Amino acid sequence: MAYSQKEAHMKKVLLVVAAAVTFVSAQTYTNDSLAVRAILAANGLSFLTVDNVTATSGSRIVRLNLSDLNLSSLTFPAATADLTALEWVNLDNNFMGSFPTGIEVLTWLDTLLFANNILGSVSSALGSLSSLKYLDLSTNQLSTLSSSIGGCTDLVGLRLNGNMLSSLPEELWSLTSLQYLDLSDNDLGTLSASLGNFTQLKKFLVSNSSLFALPDELSSCTVLEELNVNENALSAIDPVSSLTALTTLSCANNAITALPNLGGLTLLDYIDCSNNQIAAVPASIGSTALSRMNMSDNLITTLPDEINALAPVYLCDFAGNKLCSLSCEAKTWLDNFDYDWESSQDTSGCPTCTGIEQNAAAGKEGILVAPNPFNPAVVISIEKIFAGTGRDQSLHTIYIVIYDIHGRMITDLSNHVINGIVTWDASTQPAGVYVIRARINGKTHIARAMLVK
């Protein structure tokens, strides 16, 4: 009996505790709700409900969305201090010409979106947002950026594109946690040598910003994966050669006369250097992982044989150049991946490659395709590669894969190669040009075959 009384007492205690927790939770939400109502009332937005403009996590309000409300100004009243779980504020697409009054109380804020307003300057209050990780001030009317930005020491992402900035405060370059920075569509002219401080930067966009040079210190941004410097006045991009983590390089519409050494950019997958004054493609391009490239509208007259190492290529554009001095190796590669390249340039001086020459050119060691054109089967031979090394296929690592002209894989013949020879039956495929990629002992060879029906 005593045990039952003790058990009943414990149940009562637990119920009281649960009720207290529920009360505190409800009271916390009520405080958050009252704070948001105070913000709405202070800005003439009482026609909106709390649920219209907030999102919650558990019992707390964590997001406040006041975008697209035609606001010309915004005040955060004292009650805003109760929103201690607020992480995200969206003020995009309004007509605010000044920074919100009272925003400095949100020292714990994680994300502030203030794009597409008419902001002409940023108040010192920005520096109080020391926990801010993402800040979007894009598409405003900023001609200067307050040095208070230096107080946002935790910033990971910053968008300043679409303003009228002609210079940047030195305090910006102290934000060494930045991983994403967009300075596009400004009037910067130059970038500070302190850009090298951004050793964690992964994505850097600075297109259409009147740049005439890249600082050598850019080479210190060794984890940079994407660089966009389109539509500037650059004549060289030499620091790029040190960016060994780079996967995407966009430098179209400049005045670049030569590409730097690309030998260290083994991860580079995409490059757009269109509409420049580039006269030659460096042999080091063969060391990259390029599968998409736009080199159109330059002054390129020839391609290095090393370009044969790039296969398959899903996007290839060499239109509008002066390619008139190509080896059979380079011409075969170009025919495979940019089939209409000849239509836009003077090719009167190009060598004429016969079908036999093209097969030999696709791999000097001896990849052969016959008959070509074919219907419906074609024999692919790499046996010449084994000459002088023994014909034991087990001593070689061989991959032979067929792609269509758009870079889509059709079939993998690697497991069907016998003594360096394999037959492909294409009876189920439509007529057209197919690309044969053979990779033997780490070296890539390509050839083209035409299926006719």
pLDDT for residue 280: 93
pLDDT for residue 442: 64
pLDDT confidence tier of residue 209, bands split at 50, 70 and 90: very high
Q: Which residues pair with 316 in a beta bridge?
A: 293
Is the predicted pLDDT of residue 283 greater than 90, yes or no? yes
Greater confidence (13 vs 399) lies with 399
Q: Which residues pair with 156 in a beta bridge?
A: none
Is the predicted pLDDT of residue 242 greater than 80, yes or no? yes
Rounded-to-integer distance, Cα 374 and Cα 296, Å: 32
Rounded-to-integer distance, Cα 136 and Cα 448, Å: 49
pLDDT for residue 345: 80
Least confident of 34-48, 178-192, 336-350: 336-350
Least confident of 28-32, 49-53, 301-305: 28-32
Positive/negative CA dihedral, 102, 121, 210, 219: negative
pLDDT for residue 354: 46
CA 78 to chain centroid, in Å, comes to 41
List Cα–Cα distances, 60 to 36, 109, 190, 343, in angstroms: 12, 14, 45, 63
Mean pLDDT value across the chain = 87
Which residue shows structure tokens 């290529």? Answer: 313
pLDDT confidence tier of residue 131, bands split at 50, 70 and 90: very high
Average pLDDT, integer, range 196-217:
97
Least confident of 87-101, 194-208, 285-299, 416-430: 416-430
Furthest-apart CA pair in the chain: how many Å?
108
pLDDT for residue 349: 60
Nearest one of 126, 122, 85 to 103, comparing CA atoms: 126
pLDDT for residue 248: 98
Cα Rg of the chain (Å, integer)? 31
Which amino acid is it at 159?
R
Is the predicted pLDDT of residue 30 greater than 90, yes or no? no
Backbone angles phi and psi of 38, in degrees to 5: -65, -40
Terminal-residue alpha carbon distance, the chain: 95
pLDDT confidence tier of residue 297, bands split at 50, 70 and 90: very high
pLDDT for residue 41: 96
Rounded-to-integer distance, Cα 269 and Cα 217, Å: 23
pLDDT confidence tier of residue 191, bands split at 50, 70 and 90: very high
Q: Percent of the chain, pLDDT > 90?
A: 65
Give yes or no for a contact between 124 and 101, defined as CB atoms under 8 angstroms apart.
no
Rounded-to-integer distance, Cα 320 and Cα 251, Å: 17
Greater confidence (327 vs 230) lies with 230
Average pLDDT, integer, range 92-109:
96
Pairing of strands 203-205, 180-182: parallel
Greater confidence (434 vs 122) lies with 122
pLDDT for residue 281: 96
Q: Which residues pair with 448 in a beta bridge?
A: 435
pLDDT for residue 29: 52
Average pLDDT, integer, range 153-160:
98
pLDDT for residue 26: 43
pLDDT for residue 353: 56
Positive/negative CA dihedral, 369, 371, 375, 379: negative
Task: Write the burial class of residue 98 (CB in 10 Å: 0-12 exposed, 13-18 middle, 19+ buried).
Answer: middle
Domains of the chain: 51-344 (3.80.10.10), 355-451 (2.60.40.10)
Which amino acid is it at 407?
G
Most confident region among 9-13, 312-316, 358-362 by mean pLDDT:
312-316
pLDDT confidence tier of residue 311, bands split at 50, 70 and 90: confident
Give the predicted TM-score (pTM) of the model: 0.75
Beta-carbon contacts of residue 32 (< 8 Å; ≥ 6 apart): 60, 61, 82, 83, 85
Average pLDDT, integer, range 269-273:
97
Is the predicted pLDDT of residue 20 greater than 50, yes or no? no
pLDDT for residue 388: 47
Q: Percent of the chain, pLDDT > 70?
A: 84
Give yes or no for a contact between 130 and 108, defined as CB atoms under 8 angstroms apart.
no
Average pLDDT, integer, range 25-30:
52
Average pLDDT, integer, range 101-112:
97
pLDDT for residue 408: 80
Nearest one of 287, 227, 279, 224 to 261, comparing CA atoms: 287
Average pLDDT, integer, range 176-193:
97
Cis ω for the linkage preceding 376 (within 30 of 0): yes
pLDDT for residue 308: 84
